[in-house]
Structure 1
Amino acid sequence: MRPRRGLDPGSVWAQRLRQLEQRLRTKEERIVVLETENAALHLKLAEYQGLAGRSTKEVLQLYAAHGQQQKLQRSSAVTQLYGEIKRLKQDLKSLRSCALELSKDFQRQSKTSLYKVLKAVQGIQLQNEAMRMFQMKAFDLQQCLQEVTERYEKEKEKRKALHNSLVELRGNIRVHCRIRPLLPFDSAAGHPTSQERQRNPSEEVAYAVDDETVLVKCNRPGHAAINKTFQFERVYSPSESQETVFVDVAPLLTSLLDGYNVCIMAYGQTGSGKTYTMLGPQLEENFAFSTEDESELGIIPRATQEVFRLISEKPPGSYWVEVSVVQVYNNDIFDLLAKDNCGKVFGVKRDVVTTREGRSDVPLLTHETVENASEFLHLVKRGLQLRARHPTLVHAHSSRSHLVVTLTITTITSGDNFGTSWEDEQIHQRLNKEVSCSFPQKTRDNKPTASSRPSSPTQLEATEKLKQVRTRLQLVDLAGSECVGMSGVSGAALRETSFINRSLSALADVLAATAEQRPHVPYRNSKLTHLLQDSVGGDAKLLVMLCISPDQKYLTESMQSLGFGTRARQVQKGQVKKKSFPVQSKAK
């Protein structure tokens, strides 16, 4: 290193020397410290080596001592094992003896159990054989029961067929009875003056024992309790539907197209279900037929549908149907299809007369021609809107008049084949074509037009070979008999009740006179009986549908209705005859 300019070289080197000496002293001090530490470490190493030598001897001594201890332990363990083996041998010996004893006991018990099992198996085999015998006997009895049931059903059908034949030959009136279910208004106090009825407002006393018998429990205050039974051609329990009721009515409609007059009449107390049975709940309340629930339709809409269904199976053009709707109100007959000059329907009073042939007829009565069930139901609905109604304590929609709906079916047929056979359908169709202009073509006034006359000798000859058959289906919804005290009517409604009860009494008198075969039958005592003279006393097939309530508070009225039905069954009118009249031709 060269000394800087301006500095003394001697001082620089002296300073440099001092620095080196300082560093040397530092190194020497460090060397002394390290040597001291090295000596200390050598001392510790010697100490540790001594300790290591001494530990090795101790370890060897400890190992020798442990080996002796292990030998002692092994010898004691062996001794213990020998003892345990000895005890185990003794236990094994005792176990063998116990096993032998158990084996002997098991053999004895197994023999006993096997004997019991064999005995039980033998018993089960005997029971199985007995069970098979019982099963065979049960199968035989079941077959016998099935055969007896089938024979019973056949005999029942034969008996019913024979009974119907007897009714057909004797001309008796068919009487069916329908028991309505208990309704909410039955639980109300129907008689404000009777505390006893208020305490027991709803008690069922009328029951359907079977499909031909009604049982009535007569339990009146101050009288001994007795049970009375009534027999009818058919009895319907409260659970049976509208369809079930109509199934027994449908065969009469076939007779209608075979040339017989038919009348179906509902009789009973107010609120007993007559209008529901004949029309259904729709017309009973709001004069509207509903197709949403066809199961609730009554006899009138169902019968109409069935009639047009039967007509559809016949040769086309050989039938036409006319409808009339009347009500008997306060012993007057009102035409419910009559129209004024403006075409508005209003009830017109008509009269009933007896023709020279002894038949009842209503002159100027409106007859509307219909082609299907829908048109018919429309006319019935229109007529029902004019029917007299008045609410009472017994029924909120009580009918105050007798409703008579009549379907007149006119048939054109050849020869005497009507009602017996339609096999030669092609001949009928040919005749229908030849005399098509001879069929009654009606105007709005229901009068034959000039075009209905035969226009050629061939058509005239064909017309002379044809026969015209006119049959009637009368569907009657009678007003209900009622007790004035229970119904709570007054004023005009009381007068209506008086006429209703008098007309129903006149109907009962007609049936009694007919049943007793009196020389004079009082048909003219009431406009109702006069109007229904051909059905009640004539040669029509008559079905009376009795409607009764099962409630205790209507017991008197129910007994009266059942008595009316019993008297109606006793009526013998003679064998019903077919209707057959020659076609009236204006060309002759």
Structure 2
Amino acid sequence: MPLFINRDQIFAHQVHLLEHKLRSKEERILELETENAILHLRLSECLGKLRRDHEEETLNQHQHQSNAQKMTQLSLAKLLAEVQAVKQDLSELFAVYFSFSSELEEQSKQLLDKVEQASCSLNGHRGDEVQNLQADVAALERSLEEERERCRAERQRRKALHNALVVTTRFLKTSPKELRGNIRVHCRVRPLLPFDYVPSSTSGSRPMSSEEVVSAISSDTVMVNCIKTGTPVQNKMFEFERVYGPEDSQEAVFQEVKPLLTSLMDGYNVCIMAYGQTGSGKTHTMMGSQLLEEHWGPQQEAQQGIIPKAAAELFRLISDKPAETLTVEVSVMEVYNNEVLDLLARDAQGSGADQRREVITNSAGTSQVTSLTHEPVHNASEVMQVIGSVLKLRAHCPTLFHADSSRSHFIVTSRVSPKSPNALPWARRLQSAKKAMQRSAQKEWWSPGCRRANPGGAAHRSSNDHLFASTPSSPCRSPSHSPCPSPRPSVSQAPFRTKLQLVDLAGSECVGMSGVSGAALWEVSCINRSLSALSDVLGALAEQRPHVPYRNSKLTHVLQDAIGGDAKLLVMLCVSPTQRFVTESLQSLGFGARARQVQKELPRRKNNTLKVK
């Protein structure tokens, strides 16, 4: 009998089964979604834990570095005490030297008087007395030469200790042998100023533009919090030889710059330049407050910048060199629209004078500004009067950052030329006395075997060759074996100059941030091109390329000796602390990081010193 199958029942049963499977799948999906959410929570916890561990590790590293730096500072303090002791010994030697010089001059006068009296007499027995006097003069001169050699040795020791102290202070993390000739980079983070308190252009979760994102976390590290919408905060670290925070005073900044001036007196060229955007504190760091005041009294010293403090320190160091005097000449120029302008010539001849100057490279391979005006100065007050008289002539233009923004690179150059004004007049007086004695002396009293070379040259040699000669039996047979040397060594002075360049660069911000228009756009373009040329020069030096493009800009051509020569260069980075200027701050910090990579030649002290033979 045939079976009848109800297809509707079969289909209904299959639909029931499929619905059951669908419910099972949906429940499984819900379980997986729940498990996925739990895994996401665990992942977030792990990431938070890793971030906290990283922050703790970073903090521990900074603490370790701080402890190492403290130990190094203790050793430096001990070394500094030794340097002070050497300076004290040197001062005592100078005093002994002066006493010997005065005594020698007095005794030389007495001996010359006695010799003149002896030359007027024709008695033969007076010849022995003359020889005894000549022997006394030789003994005194030998004693003076011994003291002079001791003085030279102590001076060389002081210079070596000073250079070792500067190198050790600047480079705590790398061996001095590796970094002795590098460019030194310092960074200064300015405090918040009234114009920083401006809200950002957009609302929402973005921070206010006055929020501090750049901070000095240690004496050699700057941290920048890079804040972007939708991304976690990223911290960028920049390390330099020295970092100053908003709490550091002008005096604290100058104390780190001060050793370079001692190197200047030791014969090195020195350059200090301030780099940063407009409003970051470059002019405040270099010049200080109350720029155009006629008197720089004690009440204003706290706000003085590097330039006035360096002038005062320079003349203080000059006063510590009583054995010789130093002449100082100051020139002031600006690089504006890729033109070198002599501000002192403009101030002396009026605003209509043509103060444009050309930069050339001389036969020695150093750069030189032609027809540059130099003003002789005798103290720090005169230096600041010269600078203050032309500071108002510097190019200025209002921008969004500053109502009176400087639009040129301002360069103050001090040339120091040592000479000894006491030695030459003394030698001339003695030569005059020799001539007078020769005119009054009898020819038979002088032996042609005891001759001296006249420092004045061959034209005067015939009138001065027979002074202090002995009898024919005297052992004085040649100038090299003469027991009667001249009362004073011959003095020759080589033309030698050390150069101190203090540079206040124009702002490094881009055109959009400066907010200028019209003719001022050309100024901003020239500023950015010159700073870009400066960066290209540093990049070429860091990569040790065979060609360094110094001549791509008048700024780099003027500063060629300081950037690529054997001078000591300090770059002072000035940055703003707020989110509003974080792009410009990062650009400045990147420039400083590139500058630190430059490995220059080992600084060589110039040999053009006062020669005493």
> Under TM normalisation by the shorter chain, which class is it?
0.5 to 0.7
Task: Find the counterpart in structure 1 of residue 580 from structure 2.
Answer: 553
Distance 1:384 1:148, change over 3 A: closer
Counterpart among 325, 331, 337 of residue 318 in structure 1: 325
Pair member with larger Rg: 1
Given that 2:179 and 2:599 are in contact with CA atoms closer than 8 Å, whether structure 1 keeps it comes out as no
Task: Find the counterpart in structure 2 of residue 518 from structure 1.
Answer: 545
CA distance in structure 1 between the partners assigned to 2:192 and 2:206 by the alignment = 16
Counterpart among 266, 274, 277 of residue 258 in structure 1: 266
Structure 1 residues 525-574: Cα deviation after superposition (integer angstroms, max 9, x where no partner):
10000000000011100000000000001111101100110111111111
Given that 1:337 and 1:347 are in contact with CA atoms closer than 8 Å, whether structure 2 keeps it comes out as no
Task: Find the counterpart in structure 2 of residue 141 from structure 1.
Answer: none
Counterpart among 393, 404, 419 of residue 400 in structure 2: 393
Given that 2:324 and 2:418 are in contact with CA atoms closer than 8 Å, whether structure 1 keeps it comes out as no
Taking structure 2 as the reference length, the TM-score comes to: 0.61
Taking structure 1 as the reference length, the TM-score comes to: 0.63
Unaligned runs of 5+ in 2: 1-66, 80-166, 430-455, 465-485
Structure 1 residues 159-209: Cα deviation after superposition (integer angstroms, max 9, x where no partner):
9448377278641001000000010001135x7x66679971311001111
CA distance in structure 2 between the partners assigned to 1:408 and 1:504 by the alignment = 25
Task: Find the counterpart in structure 2 of residue 219 from structure 1.
Answer: 227
Given that 1:337 and 1:346 are in contact with CA atoms closer than 8 Å, whether structure 2 keeps it comes out as no
SS at match of 1:465: strand
Given that 1:259 and 1:469 are in contact with CA atoms closer than 8 Å, whether structure 2 keeps it comes out as no
Given that 1:256 and 1:471 are in contact with CA atoms closer than 8 Å, whether structure 2 keeps it comes out as yes
Task: Find the counterpart in structure 1 of residue 554 from structure 2.
Answer: 527
Task: Find the counterpart in structure 1 of residue 285 from structure 2.
Answer: 277
In the TM superposition, what is the alpha-carbon distance from 1:467 to its structure 2 partner? 3.5
What letter corresponds to residue 351 of structure 1 in structure 2?
Answer: E
SS at match of 2:344: coil
Task: Find the counterpart in structure 1 of residue 516 from structure 2.
Answer: 489
Distance 1:149 1:242, change over 3 A: closer
Structure 1 residues 451-478: Cα deviation after superposition (integer angstroms, max 9, x where no partner):
xx9997689x966633343100000000
Matched, 1:434 2:408: no
CA distance in structure 2 between the partners assigned to 1:397 and 1:508 by the alignment = 26
CA distance in structure 2 between the partners assigned to 1:487 and 1:276 by the alignment = 19
In the TM superposition, what is the alpha-carbon distance from 1:293 to its structure 2 partner? 2.1
Given that 2:205 and 2:229 are in contact with CA atoms closer than 8 Å, whether structure 1 keeps it comes out as no
Counterpart among 359, 369, 375 of residue 366 in structure 2: 359
Distance 1:397 1:309, change over 3 A: same
What letter corresponds to residue 175 of structure 1 in structure 2?
Answer: V
In the TM superposition, what is the alpha-carbon distance from 1:432 to its structure 2 partner? 6.3
Distance 1:350 1:204, change over 3 A: same
What letter corresponds to residue 481 of structure 1 in structure 2?
Answer: S
SS at match of 2:222: strand
Task: Find the counterpart in structure 1 of residue 251 from structure 2.
Answer: 243
Distance 1:184 1:580, change over 3 A: same
Counterpart among 168, 184, 192 of residue 182 in structure 1: 192
In the TM superposition, what is the alpha-carbon distance from 1:288 to its structure 2 partner? 5.6
Given that 2:171 and 2:179 are in contact with CA atoms closer than 8 Å, whether structure 1 keeps it comes out as no
Aligned residues: 404
Counterpart among 410, 415, 418 of residue 411 in structure 1: 418
Task: Find the counterpart in structure 2 of residue 424 from structure 1.
Answer: none
CA distance in structure 1 between the partners assigned to 2:205 and 2:376 by the alignment = 51
CA distance in structure 2 between the partners assigned to 1:526 and 1:169 by the alignment = 28
Task: Find the counterpart in structure 2 of residue 379 from structure 1.
Answer: 386
Task: Find the counterpart in structure 2 of residue 334 from structure 1.
Answer: 341
What letter corresponds to residue 191 of structure 2 in structure 1?
Answer: P
Counterpart among 179, 183, 202 of residue 210 in structure 2: 202
Structure 1 residues 350-382: Cα deviation after superposition (integer angstroms, max 9, x where no partner):
010111111100110001111111111111111
CA distance in structure 2 between the partners assigned to 1:479 and 1:340 by the alignment = 21
CA distance in structure 1 between the partners assigned to 2:221 and 2:609 by the alignment = 45
In the TM superposition, what is the alpha-carbon distance from 1:342 to its structure 2 partner? 5.9
Unaligned runs of 5+ in 1: 1-146, 414-427, 437-452
What letter corresponds to residue 567 of structure 2 in structure 1?
Answer: A
Counterpart among 593, 596, 601 of residue 574 in structure 1: 601
Given that 1:412 and 1:468 are in contact with CA atoms closer than 8 Å, whether structure 2 keeps it comes out as no
What letter corresponds to residue 265 of structure 2 in structure 1?
Answer: L
Instruction: For 1:46-85, list aligned pairs within 5 A.
Output: none
RMSD: 3.3
Task: Find the counterpart in structure 2 of residue 172 from structure 1.
Answer: 182
SS at match of 1:581: coil
Task: Find the counterpart in structure 1 of residue 171 from structure 2.
Answer: 163
Task: Find the counterpart in structure 2 of residue 37 from structure 1.
Answer: none
Task: Find the counterpart in structure 1 of residue 74 from structure 2.
Answer: 154
Given that 2:170 and 2:241 are in contact with CA atoms closer than 8 Å, whether structure 1 keeps it comes out as no
SS at match of 2:410: strand
CA distance in structure 1 between the partners assigned to 2:360 and 2:532 by the alignment = 21
Given that 1:262 and 1:535 are in contact with CA atoms closer than 8 Å, whether structure 2 keeps it comes out as yes
